[in-house]
Structures are given as C-alpha cells and as structure tokens.
Amino acid sequence: MREIVFDTETTGLDPRSGDRLVEIGCIEMINRVPSGAVYHCYFNPERDMPAEAEAVHGLSIAFLSDKPRFAEKAGEFLEFIQDSPLVAHNAGFDFGFMNTELELCGLEPVSRDRMIDTVAIARRKHPGAKLSLDALCSRYGIDRSHRTKHGALLDAELLAQLYVELQGGRQIGLELAAEARMMTEQSVIGISSSVSRTFRSPRPHTASEEELARHADFMAGFSEPIWSR
C-alpha cells in the first residue's frame, strides 16, 4: 500500500484571499514504512510575505525570489503523488492550498476522497487532548528537538512517524508477533493431530529374579558394611 505524507508552508491562512503556497514536502510510505523517496520544493509566491507568516517558517521573499513558480513544478509534483492517498495534519488546510494552486495552473484538483487527516484520527483517539503536531509528538515520544521553525519536509517526516503511531505504531509489531505465534501453535496442533501413532505396551521397570540374585551376591561380598551397623 502506497501513501504520501505531506505538509505545506504558505504566505497565510486563506488561499481565497490571495495567499499562496511557498513550500511542499512529501514522504512516500509503503505499507506504513518510509521508502526513502521524497519530494521537496520551494516556490516563488509572486507576492509579499507577511511578517507573521515568515516568523512561523522563516521563508523570506528574498530567499524565494529565485525559486520556481508552482506552475513550473506542478507536473513533477503530480507525477510523484500519483493516485496515492495523501496524509496531512489538518489536511483540509493543505488540500485547500494545493488545489488552489492546481486550479490556477488550469489543472484538475486532487479529490478529497484521497485525503487522510491525522488531526481527525487523533481527535477520535484522544478526545479533548491537544492536537497540534508538537503536542502529539510529545505524547508519542517522537523527537522534534531539531525543529526550531516549521518546514514542510521536516514536518512531513515528523508526521510520517506520528501517522504510524496513530495507526497502532509499535503495537502493530506486537499484534503481528501474536498472530504469528498463534498460527505456529495451530500448525503444530494440526500436525500432531494428523500423525498416526502406534500403541506400545509400557516397558517393565522392576528387577527380574536373576537381577535380584546377582545383587544379593554382590552385597554379600562387603564385610561389616556401614548400613548394617
């Protein structure tokens, strides 16, 4: 099973008001294990960068000015994600920006049927708890000490670990081990019950008359044995 865990950074909160995508990071997961394949790109938003947004991700217009526009990389991005399910934290936000950028390029938006939202999963597992990426990483013991600012690829890497934990994490391994043990036991039982056994009479465990006589002769050879005192 192939899934893409991804995150975005933007100029603001609302693509409908003119905010744009400035960074995207994607992690390929095969059967919930990172394959090592990633997609990462910065984009020139063709607009200013509000100070509050820059304070979050640290991406300035000076840094982004020579980066490609999303339209120049849209095909490359779509080729990477293919038709795989897309996992994101507060996925509606990331899908909103991604699809707005695709529509600006004249391309079809990605169906929300492919969306997996880890916030929704975490809310079901931990009702009433804090659901930020930082809070959930702390809950599951995921190291984020190297995260000083938001970054799309870094956050996608953290989210990939969190996604596995939300789906059962280390317990998945325990469940598989238990299942394997049960299958082995069933196999052994099946083998045992299918084997044809031949009945054997019990072997005698008492000494014969001849053996008793030989033992008596042997014991008679001791002079003043200590067990006779």
Report the alpha-carbon distance of residue 64 to residue 45 in Å, rounded. Answer: 8
Report the alpha-carbon distance of residue 152 to residue 142 in Å, rounded. Answer: 17
C-alpha distances (whole Å) from 49 to each of 30, 59, 64 are 36, 8, 10
Q: Which of 89, 126, 146, 150 is catalytic?
A: 150
Q: Is 150 a catalytic residue?
A: yes
Main-chain phi, psi angles of 146, to 5 degrees: -85, 5
Q: Which residues, including other chains, have CB under 8 Å from residue 90's CB and lie 6 or more apart?
A: 117, 119
Instruction: Kindly report the number of other CB atoms within 10 A of residue 11's CB atom.
Output: 25
Which residues are marked as active site? 150
